[in-house]
Chains A and B, each alone.
Chain A
Amino acid sequence: MEMEKYFRVDKLPHIWCPGCGHGSVMMSIVKGIDKMGWDPEKVTVVSGIGCSSRAPGYMNFNTLHTVHGRPIAFATGIKLANPELHVIVITGDGDGAAIGGNHLIHACRRNIGINVVLFNNQIYGMTSGQYSPMTPEGSMATTSPYGNIEPPFDLCELTRSAGANFVARGTVYHLPKLDSYIEKAFGKEGFSYVEAISQCPTYYGRRNKMKTPLEMLEWQKKNSIDIKKARDLDSEQLKGKIITGIFAERDDEEYTARYDQLIKSVQGGKE
């Protein structure tokens, strides 16, 4: 693959720490775009704030680095104004699940044609390691020095229930599978959500007995369970596990298409 076609190579190397998984997820997205054969001029990548949200700065498409938690709101505007664009949102567990959680569920409910890829490193990395709504229970963070007592969100179950057309979760360890989920998501009309479990060795691993990126990848490998196997296990057996696979695959009508029909019918079929 031609790096120059899809990346702003003069901006590389990226800002992420040694061993951070975000570079791998960004490449997975770019591979997906390449496989779809989309014209880079017709692709818009939108992000919020956080480590994950630095990604569009390196990507050679129409890019927008917006305010904290609001990339889906900006993306909704972009998609409604230009439904022919392929709109991809890159967000993180802090940006997408905490401050931006409301935008996420409503975009699912509308089933608007936006592809969200959430880089889940389970921590607020950019601000030095506060726990997020997706930090596993019991984990150490700067704001949970005695262990996190909050259970994490399962955003795959949430987005599936809220009406997203495609929902999947993959990990950086199982990279080829993640590539296939992202490709499938890009092929769907309507809203898609792909969660990529990424590693933050600097602010998550170091405080949780996984000092190196390799130990974190090993943790992803050991704790992942395929959704088909997970169906036979109870909640106690699934505690602390990463359920991977495809959670939803539907073909409900996309929002901008419905909006278009509404305009036509209100105008009485007039051009």
Chain B
Amino acid sequence: MPKKGKVEIKESWCKGCEICATFCPKKILGLRNDGKMEVKDPENCIACNQCVLRCPDYAIKVEVIENND
């Protein structure tokens, strides 16, 4: 089973720059109307942590929820 993750966005720190969405290989993140990022497709997170690495505002956390490797 591949890794799965749960993305958590700290809205008060997010500035909606969309860097996380661009680097996400599964394209599960998107910009909301109020200028904050949201997880559009939580089921498809593979816990690669690219968004965590790339967010210049430290607003994203990813928790690994399943790993049967």
Contacts and interface: CB of A to CB of B under 8 A. Distances in A.
Interface of A: 3, 7, 12-14, 16-24, 27, 172, 175-176, 212-214, 217
A13 B56 contact: no
Contact of A13 (B18, B19, B22, B57): B57
Interface residues of B, number: 15
14 contacts: A7-B58, A13-B13, A13-B59, A16-B56, A18-B15, A19-B56, A22-B56, A23-B55, A172-B56, A176-B53, A213-B17, A213-B18, A214-B19, A217-B19
Contacts of A172: 56
A207 to B, nearest CB: 18
A172 B56 CA distance: 10
B69 to A, nearest CB: 22
A176 B22 CA distance: 17
B54 A175 contact: yes
Contacts of B30: none
Interface string B13-42: 101111100100000000000000000000
A103 B62 CA distance: 42
B12 interface: yes
A214 B18 contact: yes
Contacts of A214: 18-19, 22
A19 B19 contact: yes
Contacts, number: 45
A23 B53 contact: no
Interface of B: 12-13, 15-19, 22, 53-59
A18 B14 CA distance: 9
Nearest to B61: A3
A21 B13 contact: no
Nearest to A24: B56
B14 to A, nearest CB: 8
Contacts of A21: 56
A24 B58 CA distance: 9
A212 B58 CA distance: 19
Given A3-B58, A12-B58, A27-B58, A175 B53 contact: yes
Given A13-B15, A13-B59, A19-B56, 16 more contacts: A13-B12, A14-B57, A16-B56, A17-B15, A18-B15, A18-B16, A19-B19, A20-B56, A21-B56, A22-B56, A23-B55, A23-B56, A24-B54, A24-B56, A175-B54, A213-B17
Contacts of A217: 19, 22
B15 A19 contact: yes
Nearest to B35: A18
Given A13-B13, A13-B15, A214-B18, A23 B54 contact: no
B15 A12 contact: no
